Chain A
Amino acid sequence: MTTNISFLLNGDEISYDVKDHWTLLHLLREEMGLIGTKEGCGNGECGACTVIVDKLAVNSCLYLAIEVDGTAIETIEGLASTDGTLHPLQQSFVDNGGIQCGFCSPGMIMSSKALLDENPNANREEIKQALAGNICRCTGYIPIFKSVEAAKEMGGQNE
């Protein structure tokens, strides 16, 4: 079965015919070509596929595409400004060694964004809590915490 849905994707109005069994991850990556959102496990356990749906960080691999009808979605592709300026979180992940292999980075950054949008003064414990569902095998997490904290100082919440 196919359903027509409408949603905001990184600020653009989208209308799309989606199959009922598609996940949001499938819609973004395979149908729309937004490869920035990664699949690390397909099972909601690693957070690599994190996107923001109506201000909430979700695992897009567990989220059915038809459920995003009428929502506003943010993905990693929507963070940088049109003039190429990185979002403070992207910049601080770059500057603080928060990125090594980079496979978890889009998900990490989206989880961090959802956190700082909601709680611009999040402390270390709150950051740990918000990123508990995002696995990183490269960094030992310390540079990632530093990245989020540095972004916070730069005004990492919504521009």
Chain B
Amino acid sequence: MSNFNVVGKRIPKLDAAQKAMGRAAYIQDIKLPQMLYGKILYSKYANANIVKIDTSKAKALAGVHAVLTGEDVPEKMKMGFIKDNPPIKKGRVSCFRDEVAAVAAISPEIAKKALDLIEIEYEELEGIFDPEKAMEKDSPLVHEHLKSNVLKMPWDVHYGDVEKAEKESAFVVEDRFTTTWVTHCCMGTSGAVALFDASENLTIYTNTQIPSLAQKDFLESLKAMGLKNKRVRVIKPIIGGGFGSKLDTYAYEHVAILLAYACRKPVKMVFDRVEEFKATSTRQPTVTYIKQGCDKNGKLTFRDMRMVLDNGGHTSWGATTPSVMLMPISSLYSVKNVKYSAKCVYTNNTYSQAMRGYGNPQATFAIESSMDMLAEKAGIDRIKFRKINQNHAGEETPQGLKITSCGLAECIDAVEKELHFNDNNEKGVGTGLASLIHVGGGARIYGSDGCGAILKMDDYGKVDIFTGGTDMGQGLDNITAQIVAEELGLSAEDINVVHSDTDICPWDVGAHASRSTFVAGNAALGAAKKVKKKIQDFASKLFETPAEEIELKDKMVFVTGNPEKNMPIGKLLRKAHFSPGGTMLMAEHFYDPDNQNMGKELKGNMSMTYSFGAHGAKVKVDEETGKVEVLEYVAAHDVGRAINPLLLEGQVYGGVVMGLGYALTEEVTVKNGEIMNANFRDYKLFTAKDAVKIKAPVIETDDKDGPFGAKGIGEPGCVPTAPAIANAIYNAVGVRIKDLPITPEKVLAALKEKTVKK
């Protein structure tokens, strides 16, 4: 292994001290002169016609500056990736979270009071809440003009010959699995502050993981409002958690823009917690049918999966998650014959967006549960079964994913070593294993998967790097700083990372798909290499030595093999600036990985490399109450290279606990379209008291394309958690729970059923 000075070090988060002191300013903390407060009124029904809206009383309330309804929204102002969702609805509402009016007032209290004064007459319509029923021919339609509740999406693919492979299989298992709504629960709720300058250019402070794409969305909104050729500046405050929740632009942002324009004053829109639960998007619920087979030696022969996704009342990015589900379906373990189809179906429920894993947790729950079932049917040890089918470097999967580095085998070994799968457990105790594959080298979802970086050095050897990447708490600032510092022979503290402002920072596709370390990291590294070259060229003249013999280390520039010929980097930079014919030490780099869009055939190498991992759980099931206790948890990941092991552990621990919530406790309870548990008392997150012992072995495979060998690790921690738990429960008490979350009630019911059958 190479000898690194900064990469691989446990350097604390660069912004942690200001956060620890309470000085970090989140969207909640932004206050501007003359600022007004915006509030949104939501629908009273899951499905209804709006017959009449009377806003006169609200408008008359002292302190109210604007009241908007759907009639005030320009026709072309639409949200969502198919741009079919206006930020305030008119005529018809399709779910409880549909916006029907908005106000701006001098205080949040007056704004709330104004909402209460808006009178709306609805004509309630029959709602449809079960996506499988919504697919039936005579089902009522959520959007009549579409003629069907099933979205036109291309999710239907067949690689190899599944029918033939099934006939030739020695063992086949088949089952149905479901997952439900869960939500991000960022501790900092959603919010934005919008304001226009005298020339009607927009500045918007907003919690976003996609500053550049958000800028585009907002520009389109301005255009729809008749404001052409205007500028949009997106400023990100410190973000209180992302987890995918900020990968689209939302009604509250567009409404803030409309209100700010209507009042010509800054308007702040911040969600309270109830709103955060009810009006932000969830992870998409799925119904999954899976059939898998293997030959008599345990080699997988085929995998056949069919899914129905509840799309809810409108379309956000949730409808595209099958594109990522396809990755584990086609490529988790080597299997040649694969079939997958998914239908996204409109209902009058809430709608879904990106959430950590982007479909992978749902797909992997079904795949890894089924893997255990197939191993049992074939009479093969479950770990051995996975090893027979494990992925390996050099493999090209049916989907066309090219596996370059692969530490899956090492991950499984690490879990096996830490968890003692073969120990004889006491009654009610069991172990379970599940693996994962995820994109680790970007993901070409759009035409570009690129990120820009601009790097400049000052006269004192300090660096400012302006990156398109986004730090929402995960630590991209550190990753960027450590990569740049390593390349330029500096320390991480010498690097100031600026990522907060589209007026200053270059373009990026967004902080999604665990791509930031890899893509933004490579962009930063590319810029650092260019500046390094400039330093070397300049020093080469100064020292009268070939440029390739100039080294940068410990904030010094020196000649290889002749270390007395040296100069502090700062001094050299001053010379560069102050010499006649001087030069600036500055560079930009745009890194766009050489990965592929999948295209219509749903085939292509969507990422430059893939992250692998294996999770193992030891659980104890109380057969009296059905309660599952997680005794030990091991999460081993192939990360290519740990740029910062401290932050890496944080990603894994946090991911695992989010995954444990998904497995055991978390569920947005939706009854006839209405969310019933919009608070932390009833939406059960893991608390400090529920915290679990987690070991996180790190496997380094030094990926050839990653910055210093690194791959992405943002999402994997929560991907195979649910099946690892489900498999452990089966191992402990012999019941297989196929519906998340695995509540004590479900375990108890399954135990009872098992006893009756006996």
Interface residues of B, count at CB 8 A: 55
Partner of A137 from B185, B681, B692 at Cβ < 8 Å: B185
Does residue B566 face the partner (Cβ distance < 8 Å to A)? no
Does residue B51 face the partner (Cβ distance < 8 Å to A)? no
B691 touches A141 (CB 8 A): yes
Does residue A42 face the partner (Cβ distance < 8 Å to B)? yes
Given contacts A76-B21, A141-B691, A145-B691, contact A40 B646 (CB under 8 A): no
B20 touches A86 (CB 8 A): yes
Does residue B25 face the partner (Cβ distance < 8 Å to A)? yes
- The complex places the Cα of A8 from the Cα of B261 at a distance, in Å, of 43
Does residue A14 face the partner (Cβ distance < 8 Å to B)? no
Residue-wise, chain B 442-484 has the 8 Å CB interface mask toward A (1 for contact) of 0000000000000000000000000000001111000000000
What A residues does B186 contact at CB under 8 A?
101, 103, 137
What B residues does A101 contact at CB under 8 A?
186-188, 238-242, 472-473
What A residues does B28 contact at CB under 8 A?
35, 38-39
What B residues does A136 contact at CB under 8 A?
187, 688
Does residue A48 face the partner (Cβ distance < 8 Å to B)? yes
Residue-wise, chain A 75-92 has the 8 Å CB interface mask toward B (1 for contact) of 111011000001000110
Residue-wise, chain A 34-61 has the 8 Å CB interface mask toward B (1 for contact) of 1111111111011010000000000000
A140 touches B656 (CB 8 A): yes
Does residue A135 face the partner (Cβ distance < 8 Å to B)? yes
Given contacts A38-B188, A95-B12, A105-B19, contact A140 B654 (CB under 8 A): yes
B654 touches A139 (CB 8 A): yes
Residue-wise, chain A 117-141 has the 8 Å CB interface mask toward B (1 for contact) of 0000000000111011111111111
Partner of A77 from B22, B687, B688 at Cβ < 8 Å: B22
Does residue A99 face the partner (Cβ distance < 8 Å to B)? yes
Partner of B16 from A80, A102, A106, A132 at Cβ < 8 Å: A102
What A residues does B272 contact at CB under 8 A?
42
- The complex places the Cα of A135 from the Cα of B680 at a distance, in Å, of 9
Does residue B213 face the partner (Cβ distance < 8 Å to A)? no
What A residues does B240 contact at CB under 8 A?
38, 101-103
**Main SS class of interface, A:** loop
- The complex places the Cα of A86 from the Cα of B15 at a distance, in Å, of 14
Give the total number of A-B pairs whose CB atoms are below 8 A apart: 171
Enumerate A6-41 residues with CB–CB distance to B below 8 Å.
34-41
A128 touches B694 (CB 8 A): no
Which residue of chain A is the closest to B471 with respect to CB atoms? A101
What A residues does B414 contact at CB under 8 A?
none
Residue-wise, chain B 20-49 has the 8 Å CB interface mask toward A (1 for contact) of 111111101100000000000000000000
B17 touches A75 (CB 8 A): no
What A residues does B681 contact at CB under 8 A?
43, 45
B241 touches A137 (CB 8 A): yes
What B residues does A133 contact at CB under 8 A?
687
What A residues does B650 contact at CB under 8 A?
97, 100, 138-140, 143
- Which of B187, B241, B692 is most buried by chain A, counting CB atoms within 10 A of its CB? B187
- The complex places the Cα of A99 from the Cα of B242 at a distance, in Å, of 14
Shortest CB–CB separation between residue A60 and chain B, in angstroms?
13
Residue-wise, chain B 654-670 has the 8 Å CB interface mask toward A (1 for contact) of 11111000000000000
B653 touches A142 (CB 8 A): yes
- The complex places the Cα of A34 from the Cα of B25 at a distance, in Å, of 11
Does residue A144 face the partner (Cβ distance < 8 Å to B)? yes
- Which of B16, B188, B656, B681 is most buried by chain A, counting CB atoms within 10 A of its CB? B16
Shortest CB–CB separation between residue B195 and chain A, in angstroms?
19
A94 touches B13 (CB 8 A): yes
B22 touches A75 (CB 8 A): yes
Does residue A73 face the partner (Cβ distance < 8 Å to B)? no
- The complex places the Cα of A104 from the Cα of B21 at a distance, in Å, of 12
- The complex places the Cα of A90 from the Cα of B16 at a distance, in Å, of 9
Shortest CB–CB separation between residue A138 and chain B, in angstroms?
5
- The complex places the Cα of A93 from the Cα of B741 at a distance, in Å, of 32
B273 touches A42 (CB 8 A): yes
Shortest CB–CB separation between residue A139 and chain B, in angstroms?
5
Does residue A109 face the partner (Cβ distance < 8 Å to B)? yes
Does residue B600 face the partner (Cβ distance < 8 Å to A)? no
Does residue B689 face the partner (Cβ distance < 8 Å to A)? yes
Given contacts A140-B694, A145-B691, contact A48 B187 (CB under 8 A): yes
Which residue of chain B is the closest to A145 with respect to CB atoms? B691
Shortest CB–CB separation between residue A131 and chain B, in angstroms?
4
- The complex places the Cα of A95 from the Cα of B23 at a distance, in Å, of 17
- The complex places the Cα of A134 from the Cα of B685 at a distance, in Å, of 11
What B residues does A75 contact at CB under 8 A?
22
What B residues does A105 contact at CB under 8 A?
19-20
Enumerate B147-194 residues with CB–CB distance to A below 8 Å.
184-189
Enumerate B213-252 residues with CB–CB distance to A below 8 Å.
238-243
Partner of B26 from A45, A91, A103 at Cβ < 8 Å: A103
- The complex places the Cα of A139 from the Cα of B29 at a distance, in Å, of 23
Partner of A43 from B473, B647, B679, B687 at Cβ < 8 Å: B679
Which residue of chain A is the closest to B680 with respect to CB atoms? A45
B21 touches A36 (CB 8 A): yes
Which residue of chain B is the closest to A143 with respect to CB atoms? B650
Which residue of chain A is the closest to B652 with respect to CB atoms? A140
- The complex places the Cα of A134 from the Cα of B681 at a distance, in Å, of 12
Given contacts A93-B20, A99-B13, A141-B657, contact A129 B689 (CB under 8 A): yes
- The complex places the Cα of A85 from the Cα of B731 at a distance, in Å, of 52
- The complex places the Cα of A36 from the Cα of B23 at a distance, in Å, of 6
Which residue of chain A is the closest to B241 with respect to CB atoms? A101
Does residue B410 face the partner (Cβ distance < 8 Å to A)? no
Given contacts A90-B20, A100-B654, contact A128 B691 (CB under 8 A): yes
A143 touches B17 (CB 8 A): no
A94 touches B16 (CB 8 A): yes
Shortest CB–CB separation between residue A125 and chain B, in angstroms?
9
- The complex places the Cα of A81 from the Cα of B92 at a distance, in Å, of 58
Shortest CB–CB separation between residue B193 and chain A, in angstroms?
14
- The complex places the Cα of A90 from the Cα of B19 at a distance, in Å, of 9
B473 touches A102 (CB 8 A): yes
A128 touches B689 (CB 8 A): yes
Which residue of chain B is the closest to A78 with respect to CB atoms? B22
Which residue of chain B is the closest to A93 with respect to CB atoms? B20
Shortest CB–CB separation between residue A154 and chain B, in angstroms?
14
Partner of B689 from A77, A109, A132 at Cβ < 8 Å: A132
Shortest CB–CB separation between residue A62 and chain B, in angstroms?
13
- The complex places the Cα of A127 from the Cα of B692 at a distance, in Å, of 14
- The complex places the Cα of A104 from the Cα of B26 at a distance, in Å, of 12
Given contacts A45-B679, A97-B647, A137-B187, contact A142 B22 (CB under 8 A): no
28 contacts between A and B (CB under 8 A): A35-B29, A36-B21, A36-B22, A40-B188, A43-B273, A45-B681, A46-B680, A76-B22, A86-B17, A90-B17, A94-B13, A97-B13, A101-B186, A102-B24, A102-B238, A102-B240, A103-B188, A105-B20, A127-B688, A135-B680, A137-B243, A137-B658, A140-B652, A140-B655, A140-B686, A140-B694, A142-B653, A142-B694
Q: Which 4 pairs across A and B sit closest by C-beta, in order of nearness?
A: A36-B22, A101-B473, A102-B19, A140-B653
Where the two chains meet, the residues of A that have a C-beta atom closer than 8 Å to any C-beta of B are 34-43, 45-46, 48, 75-77, 79-80, 86, 90-91, 93-97, 99-106, 109, 127-129, 131-145
Known: A34-B22, A106-B20, A140-B650. 6 other contacts (CB 8 A): A100-B654, A101-B472, A129-B689, A131-B688, A135-B680, A141-B688
